[in-house]
Structures are given as C-alpha cells and as structure tokens.
Amino acid sequence: MKNIFCRGLLSLVFTLVAANTSFAQNKSLKVGESLPESFWTKPLQVVNHQQKTFSFTADKDKLILLDFWATWCSACLKKFPQMEELKKKFGDKINIIAVTDQDGATIEKFFGSANGQRYKSVLSVVDDKMLNQMFPHTAVPFIVWIKDGKIINTTDGGQVNEQTITEVLKNETSSLQTVIQIDRKRPLMLSDNFELEKLSNILGYNLFAKGRIRAIPFGSGFHRDGEIIYGRQFTNFSLMNIYRGISYELFREFGDKFSDKRLINLLKNPEAIDFNTTTGGNFEKLYSIEYIVPKEEANNLYTRMLRYVNEIPIMLGISKRKLLNA
C-alpha cells in the first residue's frame, strides 16, 4: 500500500512539473527576448495549406512576421494582398504568417464567402492559443517581427512594407516604431510602475496629445464604477470629432438633442480639424484626450473636459443659440 501511495504521489509531482513547464513556455514575451522551443516545434492548426498543421521548424533562419488578424478587421483584410506580394518579393528570406484565435470552422466559412475568396492564398493559423499567450495584444492588425530566434519588434500593420523589411534584413537602422498596445481600461500612457504604489490612488488624470498614437486604435472608452462614469477618452480623433463627442454628452445632460448645426467651426481652413479619419493620412492632425475626475465630481466630467479642450489656441465653440430644425 505504501509503494502504491508513493508512486501516485510521484506521478502527481511529475504532472505538476509538466504543467508548470508548459505554462512557462507560453508566457508572454517582450521585445529582445528569445523564443522558446515550443514556438518552433509545436504543430499549429492552419487553413489554406496543403497540410492541416504547420510549424516554424524550417523558418529559424528567416525573418518571420506574425500577422494577428480577425475576420471582422477590415484593415487586416486590406493589408493581406500587400503581405502576399512581399512574401513573393523576398522569397526564402522571409515568412509572413497570418494568425487568428477564431476557430477553424469560422475561418473556413469566411474564406468560402464571396468576400473571403479574394484571400484564399493567405495561409493562416486558426484557433490559436499559444501565440496569443506569447504575444498578447488588444487590437488587430498586430505584427510581431522575429529574427535570429528573438523578438526584434512589435508594430501595427501599416509599418510593414518593402523599405522596413529591407532595413531589417540588412541589419540597418530601422525606421520601425515599436508598438506596445495600450489597454483602454488603464489611463493612457500611465506607467505600469504606478501599480506598485500601494498607498496611492488616482483621483484625477488628464492627457491631451496631438499626432497619431499607434499603440491604440481610433475610438473611445470610459472609466466606470458601476453606473458612475468618471472618466472618458477619445483616441486618434480629429479635433472636431472630439468636440462632437463631448457636445453629445453635454446636450444629453441638458435634456436636449445635439446636432452638427450647433457646433461652429470658426477656422479659416475648417478641414484642418474636421476630416474623415478613416481614409488614412492626416496622422499629424489627429488628437487623443483622456480626462478623469474624482468620482464625486462625475457629474461635471464633460463640462470640465470641454474647458480643458478649449485651453488650446483654436477658436471653436459650442453654440448656445436655439436653432430651428436643429
């Protein structure tokens, strides 16, 4: 009986050790770190390939780009043809692999659709867990650059082109800007070191930046405590769209309905702050703002946020006039 118990205990210990080893192999990795052996050897489920699985074993001497994507990401799909052309141009020097955590059935259905048929040449890892654990991200497209067995950079999809790949292959000074994606749940650009301060809490926080922030997509977010909204952010907006967002909330608080007719742009060149942000370009004209107030001041969030935006030297304001048919 004693021997049986010992063998069972030994088996349990080995099981736990094996589990811990697996966990360690799939931990999140940072730029400059080496890839674990599991990255190279584990068979990954794929579609649009002659085999059902794929591994990176034969790619150790290549520049590898992991292109994280999803079927709902229009920017990802738009980039696919260029990625395929780059693979042809650089041949055996590189491998660009699409990666998604969506299940195989969903991806097969997508590539079988009228829209997806255009991308049938794209080899994609599907139902992924390992690579998403190694390279966590909050948005797609997200590109991980791997060379000589190490992560050399993480970027957005817009930076993948012939010039940047050539620079990396030739070991030249790279023009790539590293992108470590921002979580909207945290105040923008707040250092992770703040989490170590056990005796300090954020009572208020604000940031106003001009120019595109690559680390976070176009959009907005809230800071909430139950039903209380005490913080708001707009990222990579035109300045006029920031005013629109604030105005909408203020008019709603007044019990009134906002319309563009109530927003007056007094600039000589109104397009400098009011343009379509989805067509690309104009990156230097984009703005990002975050404003957090103490929770007891939550009712004044948008009033204070508007005052903050108005401190910049641009003549713009919300009309207080009652407009017919507004």
- State the chain's mean pLDDT as an integer: 89
pLDDT digits (tens, 9 = 90+) for 247-275: 999 999 999 999 998 888 888 889 989 99
The whole-number pLDDT of residue 314 equals 59
In this prediction, residue 23 has a pLDDT band, given cuts at 50, 70 and 90, of very low
The whole-number pLDDT of residue 313 equals 67
The whole-number pLDDT of residue 7 equals 44
Tell me: pLDDT of 8 over 60: no
Report yes or no: 302 and 315 within 8 Å, Cβ to Cβ.
Answer: no
CA atoms within 13 A on the CB side of 25: 15
Cα angle for residues 126, 127, 130 (degrees, 5° grid):
100
Tell me: pLDDT of 130 over 70: yes
In this prediction, residue 76 has a pLDDT band, given cuts at 50, 70 and 90, of very high
Report yes or no: 289 and 312 within 8 Å, Cβ to Cβ.
Answer: no
The whole-number pLDDT of residue 281 equals 80
Three-state DSSP string of 181-213 = CCCCCCCCCCCHHHHHCCCCCCCCEEEEEECCC
Tell me: pLDDT of 156 over 80: yes
Tell me: pLDDT of 172 over 90: yes
Tell me: pLDDT of 304 over 50: yes
Residues of the chain with CATH 3.40.30.10: 28-169
Report yes or no: 195 and 258 within 8 Å, Cβ to Cβ.
Answer: no
Report yes or no: 180 and 214 within 8 Å, Cβ to Cβ.
Answer: no
Q: Report whether CATH 3.60.15.10 matches the domain 28-169.
A: no
In this prediction, residue 122 has a pLDDT band, given cuts at 50, 70 and 90, of very high
In this prediction, residue 197 has a pLDDT band, given cuts at 50, 70 and 90, of very high
The whole-number pLDDT of residue 280 equals 73
Cα–Cα distance for residue pair 11/246, rounded to 1 Å = 61
Could you give phi then psi for residue 286, rounded to 5 degrees? -80, 155
Altogether, the residues listed in the chain come to a count of 326
The whole-number pLDDT of residue 318 equals 57
Mean pLDDT of 61-85: 97
Mean pLDDT of 205-209: 96
Instruction: Identify the residue whose tokens are 């141009």.
Output: 89
pTM metric for this prediction: 0.81
In this prediction, residue 319 has a pLDDT band, given cuts at 50, 70 and 90, of low
The whole-number pLDDT of residue 78 equals 95
CA dihedral of residues 294, 300, 301, 305 (deg, nearest 10): -120
The whole-number pLDDT of residue 27 equals 83
pLDDT digits (tens, 9 = 90+) for 236-247: 999 999 999 999
Cα–Cα distance for residue pair 304/298, rounded to 1 Å = 10
Tell me: pLDDT of 70 over 60: yes
Tell me: pLDDT of 5 over 50: no
